[in-house]
Structure 1
């Protein structure tokens, strides 16, 4: 109980509370003690890394797949006992504050992200060593945002121009003698966080039953390790549209608002990527279902002042019309 408090904190670099390549990361390590102590070492580290990991069962055997990549590692030694006896390694009784400053490397790195089987994190960690048996650690994460507006594997002009072009897809399914055709058209493929994705759905119902289209924003997380891949998909947002009567056609126009806290599309991490689709699903009673998907690229918007990101479950639910 000699060390009563040990923490590491950082100062916001901007009003949004985020950091990017080339930014200065400043903060302080705070040590509160009940008496004067001698430290072997007190240091602080800043690092960025990506890591993935999952298990797969094959009969009785379980295979573990994992990988990690370090984007940067910075270290600053605050106190160190070098047997000088000059008192520089002494921590006085009470509250002691030690400032530090790092410059984040100005290289391309992905934004902070946490998915089903992987995480991209940027952290500060302080370590206080009093003896070989007495080591204390503390750490905190800081939000990191890439400077790239288009964090894609391919940065060709065709892909960037294509984000602003109209996108469409059509699918026809036969259920016995019945035929159902669904066409979906979006005004553009790229939409920013917090903006509305405007699209229209045309349903040609050549069947004897009413059909109720359900509109989804569909998420696809892909993770890779040791030449293996695993995919996690999720319906993030959904909304039911009006029923389409038998032997009729109907065009539905909607605007699906993208949550401001939803992570943007990215491909600039070698171990994971995040994609989205606009999905239209129609269940045909006792016969089958029809799905049409259209690519959606969610782009980074000007971030709001930093706040804790709610758990993903808070994003789910039916949207109000």
Structure 2
């Protein structure tokens, strides 16, 4: 029977979500109890990040296995000299500090055929005995947005859009989304202008898709599913309509992932026309799903689990203050929350800029850390303005209604006019409730089509 009991490694969280990023320091304690004096050959702690993919195809003699592995870093530190040592009976504590290297590394991920795992592990070896080991996984998030692909960031006072066109025979459709970069829980406006010159009826439908691709040994395994669907009213033959809807991104959606060679996660909106006994025309509009606090940063900027200067933020203190409001709402949106609305938390910080508790760097050892949810990542902190999966009229006030906007940010000059809310979000007609054969509505839709891509 092994004399090593209750071997544990406990790390200290940098923030309430328990997340880590490139360049952070993982500090913690290794504890175990010896029931008798024991000669230890080696005792080390290791911090590493790995991506693995594995799946099989076929069966019997035709079964083929595909696997791939990528290592992003490995940091190892010996707590007992490699030559070994005699440890006395009783409780033992070893403080550890390991640095995560800088670099563009993918976030934590777990899927059906692969995973990306970052963990801290400890191992005690003895001569002619089975080693004792344990580990704790870390919830790792990417600081940069390079893993989100080519993101078109909106300029000041504009809205980033995506547009797609289908034109074949007697059917033409132009589909748009008002935003390309979103966070879990955000509401997306999807619209389509449809010209039906045929004699068939057709129904517009909208779906939000998630696509995961695993790669190994020159082969791919693709998992694609629709996370939510919506549909509109049937369009009459020989008619033209402009339709729109509001779709909420699920809170538990996996973030977009593009900086891993063997695993990728993509998202898109599919707008298609359901036509009986005919090919269904469709348009696909790519989206990028990012953690909540990163969606408003300009390209090239890093983000952390908390804004710079927040209590329990990143361990590095050289981040410049952001030049934009860190919120998924535009700077002049009515009712958009700001960080000034929340009082600073009265939480003491430790010597490394992290939350500390009694005994965190001494004896006895701290209590176990509860890492955040790796699959879902960040939780969206902002209240939603529309219920999920429902058709709503465009939430734009008429020009005659005046709203009290927030105070002008410091970077606006005194006396400069701020852009209005309606100039940022033009009205989108909602025609799902009407009849496609209504001539008057058809004329209105021609006069006020869905706003073009700008």
**TM-score, normalised with respect to structure 1:** 0.80
Runs of 5+ consecutive residues of structure 2 not aligned to the other structure: 294-304, 307-311, 313-370, 378-386, 391-454
Matched residue, 2:40: 39
CA deviations 1:106-157 (Å, max 9, x no partner) are 12211112233222111111112234332122111101111212325668xx
- Decide which of 220, 225, 234 is 1:234's aligned counterpart: 225
**CA drift at 1:75:** 0.9
- Decide which of 275, 279, 289 is 2:270's aligned counterpart: 279
Q: Does the CA-based 8 Å contact 2:253-2:376 persist in structure 1?
A: no
Give the Cα–Cα distance (whole angstroms) in 2 for the partners of residues 18 and 97 of structure 1: 24
- Decide which of 243, 259, 266 is 2:233's aligned counterpart: 243
- Decide which of 195, 199, 209 is 1:218's aligned counterpart: 209
Q: Does the CA-based 8 Å contact 2:139-2:374 persist in structure 1?
A: no
Give the Cα–Cα distance (whole angstroms) in 1 for the partners of residues 52 and 212 of structure 2: 14
Matched residue, 2:24: 23
CA deviations 1:253-283 (Å, max 9, x no partner) are 2222223443322321222222111012443
The alignment's C-alpha RMSD in Å is: 3.2
Q: Does the CA-based 8 Å contact 2:5-2:33 persist in structure 1?
A: yes
Q: Is the aligned partner of 1:151 residue 2:147? A: yes
**CA drift at 1:56:** 2.8
Q: Is the aligned partner of 1:298 residue 2:299? A: no
Q: Is the aligned partner of 1:92 residue 2:83? A: no
Aligned residues: 302
Give the Cα–Cα distance (whole angstroms) in 2 for the partners of residues 271 and 72 of structure 1: 16
Q: What does 1:155-194 align with in structure 2 at a 5 Å threshold?
A: 159-160=152-153, 165-172=160-167, 180-194=171-185
* Residue 56 to residue 280, structure 1, CA distance change in 2 (3 Å): same
CA radius of gyration, larger in: 2
Give the Cα–Cα distance (whole angstroms) in 1 for the partners of residues 136 and 225 of structure 2: 29
Q: Does the CA-based 8 Å contact 1:49-1:70 persist in structure 2?
A: yes
Runs of 5+ consecutive residues of structure 1 not aligned to the other structure: 313-317
**CA drift at 1:55:** 2.2
Give the Cα–Cα distance (whole angstroms) in 1 for the partners of residues 234 and 374 of structure 2: 38
Q: Does the CA-based 8 Å contact 2:214-2:221 persist in structure 1?
A: yes
Q: Is the aligned partner of 1:252 residue 2:243? A: yes
Q: Does the CA-based 8 Å contact 1:39-1:80 persist in structure 2?
A: no
* Residue 270 to residue 26, structure 1, CA distance change in 2 (3 Å): same
Equivalent position SS for 2:146: coil
Give the Cα–Cα distance (whole angstroms) in 2 for the partners of residues 182 and 26 of structure 1: 56
Give the Cα–Cα distance (whole angstroms) in 2 for the partners of residues 101 and 53 of structure 1: 33
Matched residue, 2:448: none
Matched residue, 1:65: 66
Q: Does the CA-based 8 Å contact 2:109-2:374 persist in structure 1?
A: no
**TM-score, normalised with respect to structure 2:** 0.59
Q: Does the CA-based 8 Å contact 1:220-1:232 persist in structure 2?
A: yes
